[in-house]
Amino acid sequence: MNVKKITLPLSAEDVGSLHVGDKVLLSGTIVTGRDMAHKWLVEEKPREVKDVLKNGAIYHCGPIMLKKEGKWTCLAAGPTTSIREEPYLSDVMQEYGLRCVIGKGGMGERTAEALKKHNAVYLFAVGGAAVIYADAVESVEDVFQLNAFGVPEALWVLKVKDFSAIVSMDSHGGSLHDEVETKSNLSYKKLMDQ
């Protein structure tokens, strides 16, 4: 397996060098975002997050955070299912110049097309590894919409080091999810034909 160390923000060349199956160790700034965040980004188009998302990464995650002595710490940061953001993600990429999406389960056809159009990539993060991902968080840099959305739905700006993920949808049209589905359907058909 190809392992690539990538530093955020991402350049077009960084994204173009990534292919389905590559293991990525991301370092830099990522922003968490779930349903309420995506809806807010598309409907309200807030300017205050534009710079942090430009050529950056959004992580489908509802982290567990602890505030101690005025400072936030990330206790757990496991991925959440990405497909729920399918209605929004193409617009988020267009509006904010987003180059990377991290989550679990993959995305649909609309996002696959947006990844090609906007030269972006989808990284698969492993479910059940919330504490391991939290260990990759070096610091909490900022938070948006905390009072309005609450801790899990807020947009947390996290500085990470060697955040591990797998490229499962690339900017070239490749999709590990489609490959698995095709192979599974062939195996199923073969079993049913016996």
pLDDT in tens, 92-110: 999 999 999 999 999 999 9
Of 78, 58, 61, 59, nearest to 131 (Cα)? 78
Please state, as a whole number, how many other Cβ atoms lie within 10 Å of the Cβ of residue 83: 16
Residue whose token pair is 């173009």: 16
- C-alpha span between 63 and 73 (Å, rounded): 10
**Residues assigned a catalytic role:** 38
Does pLDDT of 5 surpass 90?
Answer: yes
Q: Give the structural domain span for 138.
A: 3-192
Please state, as a whole number, how many other Cβ atoms lie within 10 Å of the Cβ of residue 1: 6
Q: Across all residues in the chain, what is the average pLDDT?
A: 93
- C-alpha span between 191 and 140 (Å, rounded): 50
Q: Residue 23's Cα: distance from chain center in Å? A: 14
- C-alpha span between 44 and 55 (Å, rounded): 20
- 0.75 cut: is pTM over it? yes
- C-alpha span between 178 and 120 (Å, rounded): 17
Structure confidence at residue 34 as a pLDDT band (50, 70, 90): very high
Q: What are phi and psi of 144, to 5 degrees?
A: -120, 140
Q: What is the CATH number of the domain that holds 38?
A: 3.20.130.10
Query: Mean pLDDT across the stretch 16-45?
Result: 97
Asked if 107 and 92 count as a contact pair (C-beta separation under 8 A), the reply is: no
**Total domain count for the chain?**
1
